[in-house]
A and B are shown apart, each in its own frame.
Chain A
């Protein structure tokens, strides 16, 4: 370990030499290596580049790297060529040779690899001009695309560990805490507690042995921002933790990461090793006299482990059961010692605040919520991916400007924020500037930043049922309201979507929701009823339609829908008949086909295969509609 006893003054010299060394490269090709692009086979693209660069003897001119997630997962694999910032999307290994020959050598843009703005239909050359990126403010997440997360020199080259150096040389722990307090940074894990205040409580707690924890037990379905940070820029998280440890007076830290995130585990483990080699971790860090070490603990796959007290239990080797607070972990946490837990994104904000100052940071965001927030934008949305925006950005901006709106010209119906226990926000609240308070007022929450967009084909009762089924399964089983209350609620919802709902069910649901919310031990239970409560608040009519009219307005709940072939439109092409998986359709060539409702399993295959110009299959729901169509078809003697 050549850098074992590196001292503060030597750090800047080393940094300069790294930057100097890189100046010889004329171009930089970055290939997004986030989990999304990995699934699109970006590895092969990278290997192809590597091979060709060697073959063509360009090794000294071109720097090639696999980076962290760029966020625009919808369009992977993504290749960006610097310094111009040329943005190629959906790149395959077959495109690589052309990119080198045309773009690198001949400096020509390859048209077909460019991104086309679906609204203006214009081709866009540069990454920062892509509307998806243009409206974002990528303070935390932006560096992902510039660095190879497995190489600490990359992080140093963009100014990494400068904040740590500043803290160790210029600031007292109390000053660091004050800085974080003044920045207004709030925990990005869900509850939004003021980070600086949390640190201060832990620092002031009695006892010399203290711990800090980085929570990367991201379990919300469809959310992956913490994962992308830990995979794509692990040193920024680590730097934040070291600064936090210094401020709090902790000498030992833990990173709790899901075992289901193998790349995150690999990258952060490597980062820890490198940081030890560089003396950013270990004893007497950079000669400052401060010592701090970090262990990585892999979670065993329980959603509730993300709850801080459950996470502590899990690190201690016990079952991940939450423990009621008070006492808070800041007073009595891991191994019964004062402990500070923050999530990945919170820690990643810390170096930025220290480098740029609380003053600068606090200007971003709203009155109560400062800085940016990364959201994982998924569901019925054109540009699936990770987006980072300043607090206070409206939902409309995120969904329609950055997200590119709803696919296939469908109508927006609702957006569910904050993970499975967040709430569903309807269209009339789209102009809500989002921050911690506004989301709670709307009955939802910031959570860790999940954002699931739903279009008009989504049944809100079914959505509530889906999320509640998830939280019910993931309830740790410790407290009664969460364990049994959610189960009873799911039973009622199951009944409603099957058309067996009773008049009193809505009241019963509301009652149970209140008990689960008020009576549960931890955040999981306390927020589990949110999807039900918000859908009842904003989409009550859908519940009533299910219960009273036996109708699913979105035509999703299979028990309440039926497919019919309109006799006047059917041309008797046999397509639906042949494709029906249960042989429920009868008929002959050129004669009207009929669906046997007894046999039909409502898979919708007939509607899918019926040629658009014929369009003879219709989907109906509700007692009235079904009675009418039966009469109509019978009347026509179909």
Chain B
């Protein structure tokens, strides 16, 4: 990198070419006061505090906007500059409550709290949400303002409290514009803007809409950059400032944002994104920013072991409970015991759980509870194994999104896609529902519901016209593709040319897309497309550790490190370390465990929706929360949440990251690995003598070669490693197995069911149910319909409906949404419980091992008509 020389205040300094004068000064440790500069945002030049004098330039240029040039001579604090700065700051303070800054009793107050420090009617200065975290306070200290000569002007703006998660008191706003810029430039959302002009200028939304209506994703980025207390997290001021901060990985989705969690001695009080986070770099979404406290401290926590006695669950000691569990488990054969495990546990927990199942209980009946909603279960899973780096998105030339609702599921990807389009990338979304990309420019290819499959098929056919060994693919005519996808042939041709010529092209897709059709064929098509065009595939794994669950053998078919149960040679390596045998038969998958009636003992680590209790003799639930399933449990083992323990997650990229312990486990709750180790010890003794997760990880490194390069101490220090699972066979074009029956389905269909997954969930603790803000944004128990469909069916917003799918009925409220296609009904995840328990009665699809309901034809009737 080329460096230039400048003279700042007589001192010769060097700087990177392309930086601003302010950045050059910063690098040289020369302080220039500023309130509107932020390293991630475009220069603004609004606060005027960073003015300097530059030889050869007239006036007082702002150092934050002036590009540094070789040989520049800069003065940062002449008396003239200080005079202007002082008055400019004074002007800012005429509109900002300032007694906390210049009150003459300030000194005494700090010590004795003798004065009632009032900043305005609502915010006592002691209670300013940003007290002691206020950039304004720092700048006032530097510039040195003792009193303000000008009359203060209280703007008397109403405090805005209607929207969830954060409050806005623009009486404290100094219009530095950071919130507006972060919303536009970093998040690509563009909810916030300046409204009005002159002294009436304020930050707000266009046309004064509520933030929800203006498309706010409530990511909290604006709150994080606000230098004053204008934007503040709701209720936060009750806890004041934190005693300590600890970094942890967000436990919700597969992106794996690193968070800074703030704590008091025995309480988490908040969280914000870590600027050093490998995938998130200072950004998060509403889940990581505003709901972390909720999942640790809530009324649904189970904090003591419970045993059902005379029909009631009663608090007992750990010793009694563990003995009770061990006694029960010992009575059953391995094949009579089934494990269902959450996709949001640590890798170390997974390793131990499956070891416990296989070694101590001799069963392969183990599966993730998210089989319905997770990628980790599809048969072509190996093709997902490749690690990738989300950072690559920013440099891509062409990005294709397949049926993704980014704004809803992965708002963090917005940040990457925004950077990509800023760098000139073309963005194309293929799907039947708008992707929620905010202000990011993209080309929309709107297919019929489920038509994405055909569109991809069309691309593969176009790109592969010369070879003819893909019989099934070739069987489908372009006319049929056009009809099924709803996209004209010419557009398919144009797109195939584009993808063929634009490398690197990145194709991002997730579960919503895979669920639509025969998933293994869909994956084959995508692989073919990638092979034909040299594109990269970025599948999005849903939950915080669904990839980890898969890598660590939470599966009836594979062992940690993706070793198949039938792979005798590799199995024996495990058996050597474990000093015991592993059952040879494939285990039962989720639906088989629940439905086949062969399983007598159900061990749930995490949460599943309601089940048929009569199928089981004994049900163990190990979870931090008392969810619906607990009503049927015989024993409840109080696991602590991830924040009360420590361990590693593997995110959607295949990146392993370490999450630190933020607080000690509440009351009697314990980490999952500890509980399993205790039971394991009591059952077979050897092989479960662990005192810490370090020991578990040591063993992992021994049995899984992929982890040998991972240094646990570096991982603990915040480093991350990509876990690359190498493929045995080279990738080659594959034909699809069958022509999907969507063709048949669509013929007479009136309304098709689409399903919205739930990522607002941690181990069964549903944010939609428990957090009013999330419920307000996502909608509670709703079905979404297109306005045209509503007109045709004479439905209004909030009408109550019964959705009838085969033998299943679900009741929900109508929400009209113009972003979705006609003839589709989106059933929301908050209805999951209700829906899931009923769906168990439907036949299972051989491929995914779950009932195939997506795109099924449904009927709807008004509730009152029934």
Contacts and interface: CB of A to CB of B under 8 A. Distances in A.
Contact of A327 (B46, B59, B67): B67
Contacts of B94: 484, 488
B92 A480 contact: yes
B553 interface: no
A477 interface: yes
A508 B94 CA distance: 15
B199 A472 contact: yes
B45 A323 contact: yes
A39 B550 CA distance: 79
Interface stretch (B146-154, B297-305, B385-393, B638-646): B146-154
Contacts of B44: 478
Q: Counting chain B CB atoms within 10 Å of each CB, which of A327, A476, A515 scores highest?
A: A515
Contact of A521 (B45, B83, B194): B45
B91 A477 contact: no
B193 interface: yes
Given A480-B91, A484-B92, A472 B198 contact: yes
Contacts of A519: 48, 51, 60, 84, 87-88
Contact of B48 (A481, A508, A512): A481
Contact of A480 (B48, B65, B66, B83): B48
Interface string B414-443: 000000000000000000000000000000
A475 interface: yes
Interface string B36-64: 00000001111110010000000111100
Nearest to A521: B45
A302 B62 contact: no
Contacts of B47: 479-480
Given A472-B199, A475-B197, A518 B84 contact: yes
B95 interface: yes
B121 interface: no
A520 interface: yes
A426 B65 CA distance: 39
Interface string A303-329: 010000000000000010101101100
Interface in A480-520: 480-481, 483-488, 491, 508, 511-512, 514-515, 518-520
A473 B91 contact: no
A474 interface: yes
Contacts, number: 109
Nearest to B93: A484
B197 A508 contact: no
Given A477-B194, A479-B45, A508 B153 contact: no
Contacts of B67: 326-327
Contacts of B65: 323-324
Interface in B126-161: 149-151, 153
B88 A480 contact: yes
B198 A477 contact: yes
B197 A488 contact: no
B135 to A, nearest CB: 14
B87 A483 contact: no
Interface string B191-229: 001101111110000000000000000000000000000
B273 interface: no
Contacts of B46: 478-480, 521
B274 to A, nearest CB: 31
A484 B197 contact: no
B604 interface: no
Interface size class of chain A, counting residues whose CB lies under 8 Å from the partner chain: 35 or more
A518 B197 contact: no
A483 B175 CA distance: 10
A487 B200 CA distance: 10
Q: Is the interface of A mostly helix, strand, loop or mixed?
A: helix
A451 to B, nearest CB: 25
Contacts of A520: 48
B449 interface: no
B361 to A, nearest CB: 63
Given A319-B193, A323-B65, A327-B67, A479 B48 contact: yes
B197 A476 contact: yes
Given A327-B67, A484-B92, A521-B45, A478 B84 contact: no
B177 interface: yes
Contacts of A476: 197-198, 201
Contacts of B92: 480, 484
A477 B196 contact: yes
B53 to A, nearest CB: 11
A326 B66 contact: yes
A518 B199 contact: no
Contacts of B198: 472-477, 483, 487
B95 A319 contact: no
Q: Counting chain B CB atoms within 10 Å of each CB, which of A480, A481, A486, A491 scores highest?
A: A480
Given A324-B66, A519-B60, A475 B48 contact: no
A326 B72 CA distance: 14
A472 B196 CA distance: 12
B91 A488 contact: yes
A484 B199 contact: yes
A478 B60 CA distance: 17
A304 B62 CA distance: 20
A479 B64 CA distance: 13
Interface in A510-547: 511-512, 514-515, 518-521, 526
B564 to A, nearest CB: 54
Nearest to A515: B87
Contacts of B177: 478
Interface string B180-193: 00000000000001
Contact of A484 (B60, B66, B91, B196): B91
Nearest to A485: B91
A518 B88 CA distance: 11
A324 B45 contact: yes
Interface in A594-628: none
B43 A324 contact: yes
A474 B200 CA distance: 10
Q: Counting chain B CB atoms within 10 Å of each CB, which of A321, A484, A514, A515 scores highest?
A: A484
A266 to B, nearest CB: 28
B188 to A, nearest CB: 14
Contacts of A526: 59
Interface string B241-282: 000000000000000000000000000000000000000000
A304 B201 CA distance: 14
A319 B44 CA distance: 13
Interface in A448-485: 472-481, 483-485
Contacts of A484: 91-92, 94-95, 153, 199
Given A477-B198, A515-B84, A487 B149 contact: no
Nearest to B177: A478
A520 B51 CA distance: 10
Nearest to B153: A487
A309 to B, nearest CB: 10
Contacts of B80: 518
A512 B80 CA distance: 14
Contact of B87 (A324, A478, A511): A511
Nearest to B200: A477
A487 B198 CA distance: 9
In the A-B complex, list the 10 residue pairs whose CB atoms are closest, starting with the nearest.
A477-B201, A324-B65, A324-B45, A484-B91, A515-B87, A487-B199, A475-B198, A473-B198, A519-B84, A478-B46
24 contacts: A302-B197, A323-B45, A324-B43, A326-B66, A474-B197, A475-B197, A476-B198, A477-B196, A477-B198, A477-B199, A477-B200, A478-B46, A479-B47, A479-B48, A480-B48, A480-B88, A483-B201, A484-B153, A487-B153, A514-B84, A515-B84, A518-B59, A519-B51, A521-B62
Given A321-B194, A476-B198, A479-B45, 14 more contacts: A304-B197, A324-B45, A472-B199, A475-B198, A476-B201, A477-B198, A478-B201, A480-B174, A484-B199, A488-B91, A488-B151, A515-B84, A515-B87, A518-B60
Interface of A: 302, 304, 319, 321, 323-324, 326-327, 472-481, 483-488, 491, 508, 511-512, 514-515, 518-521, 526
